[in-house]
């Protein structure tokens, strides 16, 4: 499973990249709205901070404008993936961009049929939103499993990117699905690295080692 951070916060990206576990970043207009800096600068910094793919979402609405903006985003950095929301009017745009070699991440996927349609167009990534399904009382991990089944049954090349993950439990369940990528809020990633029993165990070993009365093991 590849791990992406779902954020536009440069401090958090800088903090977690040294773990060696961050394979990419997903941003969206909501993330960028929280940064209080020029979005172009924020995105430029992020693209320089990670080697892996960085998803940047279009904000235009009309299909022609989305096409032009997607082309502009695609040229912004070598590791950019253009994020486009699922909509009927964007399917021809996506088809054109894929034919031009642009890597697309189709976002706001809520059914296996939406996933099937964009997989047929050859997009790079497909993002089912687990948490937002859970929000309305439907099991988001089931949606994810159905999307993965579609990909596997028809041998599509698109990578499935589990998005809208809000809790450790969701991430843990997702690890059992074989999904290609999980994009995590930094808080969930941080929480997963801390366990009270691990911390307690370290304290106990430290306390016992003090009883030995030596600094190093081989002193
Ligand atoms: O980046 C898209 C997705 O991960 C957003 O998650 O928590 O706003 O539903 P959320």
**Ligand 1 atom at minimum distance from 131 CA:** 9
Closest residue by Cα to atom 10, ligand 1, is 164
- Is there a domain that residue 24 lies in? yes
Residue 80 · residue 54 · CB < 8 Å: yes
Residue 217 lies in a domain: no
Which ranges constitute the DSSP H helices of the chain? 10-16, 29-33, 39-49, 63-74, 91-99, 112-120, 130-135, 140-154, 168-174, 186-192, 196-212
CB of 31 closer than 6 A to ligand 1? no
How confident is the model at residue 106, as a pLDDT?
98
Which phi and psi angles does 179 have, rounded to 5°?
-60, 150
Instruction: Assess if residue 173 is contained within a domain.
Output: yes
- Predicted pLDDT of residue 135: 94
Q: Which atom of ligand 1 is nearest to the CA of 135?
A: 9
- pLDDT, residue 14, reads 98
**Domain harbouring 17, CATH code:** 3.20.20.70
pLDDT along the chain (219 residues), means of 10: 98 98 98 96 98 98 98 98 98 98 98 98 98 95 97 98 97 97 98 96 97 92
Measured by CA distance, the residue closest to atom 6 of ligand 1 is 164
- 116 in any annotated domain: yes
pLDDT at 7: 98
Examine the residue annotation and report whether 83 is marked as an active-site residue of this protein: yes
For residue 146, being part of any structural domain is answered with: yes
Nearest CA to ligand 1 atom 4: 164
pTM of the entire structure? 0.95
* Residue 200 domain-assigned (yes or no): no
Q: Is 163 in the pocket of ligand 1 (CB under 6 A)?
A: yes
In a domain, 53, yes or no: yes
Cα of 55 from ligand 1 centre, angstroms: 13
* Number of domains the chain is built from: 1
For residues 144 and 128, is the Cβ–Cβ distance under 8 A?
Answer: yes
153 C-alpha to center of ligand 1: Å?
Answer: 27
Predicted local confidence at residue 30, as pLDDT: 97
Distance from the Cα of residue 142 to its chain's centroid: 18
Q: Which domain holds residue 6?
A: 2-194
Report if residue 208 sits inside a domain: no
């Amino acid at each position: 499973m590849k791990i992406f951070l779902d954020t536009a916060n440069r401090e958090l990206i800088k903090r977690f990249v040294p773990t060696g576990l961050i394979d990419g970043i997903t941003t969206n207009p909501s993330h960028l709205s929280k940064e209080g800096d020029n979005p172009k600068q924020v995105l430029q910094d992020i693209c320089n901070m990670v080697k892996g793919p960085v998803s940047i979402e279009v904000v235009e609405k009309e299909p022609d404008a989305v096409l032009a903006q997607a082309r502009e985003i695609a040229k912004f950095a070598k590791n950019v993936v253009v994020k486009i929301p699922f909509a009927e009017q964007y399917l021809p745009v996506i088809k054109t961009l894929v034919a031009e070699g642009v890597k697309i991440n189709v976002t706001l996927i809520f059914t296996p049929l939406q996933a099937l349609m964009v997989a047929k167009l050859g997009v790079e990534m497909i993002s089912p939103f687990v948490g937002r399904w859970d929000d309305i009382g439907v099991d988001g991990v089931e949606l994810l499993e159905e999307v993965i089944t579609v990909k596997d049954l028809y041998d599509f090349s698109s990578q499935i990117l589990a998005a809208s993950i809000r809790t450790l439990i969701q991430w843990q369940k997702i690890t059992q699905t074989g999904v290609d990528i999980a994009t995590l809020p930094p808080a969930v990633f941080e929480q997963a690295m801390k366990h009270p029993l691990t911390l307690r165990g370290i304290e106990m070993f430290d306390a016992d080692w003090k009883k030995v009365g030596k600094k190093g093991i081989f002193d």
